[in-house]
Structures are given as structure tokens and as C-alpha cells.
């Protein structure tokens, strides 16, 4: 018997490609978890101004950025080498889009994190601070819905995500109405800091809409679902 006769048969290339796609999906889930952890740090900093978490969040964001770069390069390699079609192609290009959205959500979380030195301004007006915390809670809830949707490839959850958050819209409206009533020597710096945090939180919610729309496209192949990505 020759050495070749005792060797295991070579695995079909298609099976290997399928495994690579599975690993790609798992890596996206891992990136989702890293972003989720930084969103939780963001909320903690917003609530109590824990400046000790800032450096942790910054290091975690570097890891998120590195993972985004790694997954992007991996997707390009698969596109060039395999020339995937149909659902496989949708998966690869959807991963490219999803990782970009995740990286953007991470950057928006850092905008709030970096306001930690100005926490006294964020909490100077109780009503403003309460509204900001409610916005953070809504953004986190929607993001975690996106995380579950991608993990389970759940079309129902993805569809829910594509509807803009009514709670976020109402909170933004209430905050704007209250900010214009502020007075005193600190009114302007308070308004600027609160507005910066609110814009970031609102944009995080917007990006979860895109994650939901991209997952709907991945699962159905209907290009009309991509309209939410035009912004």
C-alpha cells in the first residue's frame, strides 16, 4: 500500500467553502458581542461618570476596529477566490456591510464615552440626564435585538428592527424642547454636551435599522430591503 492510499480523501472544496462561511458568521457574532460590551460601558459612564471605564472602552474599540479590518479582508479574499453566487454572495457582501455598521456603532458609543470628563454637565439638569439614559436604554435594546436577529437569522426580528424607534423619536423631541428652556451661565455648555450625547445615541438606533434591513436582504434576497441603507 502506498502512502497516498492510506491518506484521508481530500475534502470537497465546496464543503471547505461552506465551513469558511460558517466561521465568517461566527466572527460577526463575536464582533457583535464586543460592540455590545462597549455599549454597556457607554451606558455606565453616562449614568455615573465612571472615568475608569474610558480606557477600557478605548482598548476595546481598537479590538473592534481590528476585527472589522480582518473580516473585511477575509470577505475580499473569499469574493476573489470563490466568486460566490446567490445566497453565498449575499452572505459575504452582507457581512461586509454589517461589520461596517458595527464599527460605526462602536465609534458612536465612544463619542458618549469621551464625554466622561464632562459628566457634571450631563447630569447638571436632572430631566436632561433622565432623557439621555432612556435614549441609551432604547439604543441598547434595539442593538441587542439586532444581535439576536443575526445570531438566529431571524426574519421576524429583522423586520421589527427596520421600523424606526418611536421611543427614540419622542425622547429626542422632549430633549430638544427642554434644552431651549435652559438658562444660566452653564446653559450653553450643558446644551452642547447633552446634544452631543443625544445625537450619538440616536445614530446608534439608526444603524440598528440598517442592520435589520441588511439581514432581511440576506434572508430573502429582495433588494428592496436595502432602501434603508441609503442615507
State yes or no: pLDDT of 116 exceeds 80.
yes
* Segment 42-81, tens digit of pLDDT: 999 999 999 999 999 999 999 999 999 999 999 999 999 8
Q: Give me the mean pLDDT over the 77-90 stretch.
A: 88
Greater pLDDT, 134 or 86: 134
Q: Give me the mean pLDDT over the 116-144 stretch.
A: 96
The confidence band for 223, taking pLDDT boundaries of 50, 70 and 90, is confident
| Mean pLDDT for all residues in the chain | 90
Q: Give me the mean pLDDT over the 139-147 stretch.
A: 95
State yes or no: pLDDT of 26 exceeds 90.
no
State yes or no: pLDDT of 10 exceeds 50.
no
State yes or no: pLDDT of 8 exceeds 80.
no
Domains of the chain plus CATH, in order, are 15-229 (1.20.58.220)
The confidence band for 206, taking pLDDT boundaries of 50, 70 and 90, is very high
Instruction: Give the pLDDT score at 163.
Output: 82
State yes or no: pLDDT of 32 exceeds 70.
yes
State yes or no: pLDDT of 82 exceeds 90.
no
pTM (2 d.p.): 0.89
The confidence band for 4, taking pLDDT boundaries of 50, 70 and 90, is low
102 burial level (CB within 10 Å; 0-12, 13-18, 19+): buried
Q: How far is CA 7 from CA 14, 15, 16, 88, 93, in A?
A: 20, 18, 18, 31, 36
Q: Give me the mean pLDDT over the 152-181 stretch.
A: 92
Amino acid at each position: 500500500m502506498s502512502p497516498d492510499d492510506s491518506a484521508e480523501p481530500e475534502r470537497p472544496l465546496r464543503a471547505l467553502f461552506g465551513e469558511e462561511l460558517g466561521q465568517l458568521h461566527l466572527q460577526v457574532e463575536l464582533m457583535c458581542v464586543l460592540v455590545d460590551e462597549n455599549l454597556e460601558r457607554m451606558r455606565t459612564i453616562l449614568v455615573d461618570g465612571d472615568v475608569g471605564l474610558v480606557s477600557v472602552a478605548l482598548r476595546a474599540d481598537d479590538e473592534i476596529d481590528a476585527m472589522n479590518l480582518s473580516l473585511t479582508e477575509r470577505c475580499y479574499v473569499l469574493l476573489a477566490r470563490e466568486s460566490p453566487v446567490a445566497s453565498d454572495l449575499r452572505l459575504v457582501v452582507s457581512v461586509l456591510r454589517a461589520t461596517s455598521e458595527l464599527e460605526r456603532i462602536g465609534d458612536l458609543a465612544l463619542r458618549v464615552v469621551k464625554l466622561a470628563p464632562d459628566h457634571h454637565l450631563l447630569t447638571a439638569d436632572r430631566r436632561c440626564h433622565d432623557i439621555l439614559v432612556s435614549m441609551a436604554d432604547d439604543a441598547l435594546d434595539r442593538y441587542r435585538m439586532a444581535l439576536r436577529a443575526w445570531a438566529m437569522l431571524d426574519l421576524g426580528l429583522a423586520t421589527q428592527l427596520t421600523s424606526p424607534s418611536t421611543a427614540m423619536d419622542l425622547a429626542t423631541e422632549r430633549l430638544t424642547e427642554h434644552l431651549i428652556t435652559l438658562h444660566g451661565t452653564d446653559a450653553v455648555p450643558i446644551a452642547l454636551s447633552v446634544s452631543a450625547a443625544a445625537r450619538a445615541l440616536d445614530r446608534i438606533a439608526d444603524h440598528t435599522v440598517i442592520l435589520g434591513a441588511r439581514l432581511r436582504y440576506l434572508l430573502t434576497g429582495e433588494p428592496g430591503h436595502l432602501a434603508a441603507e441609503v442615507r
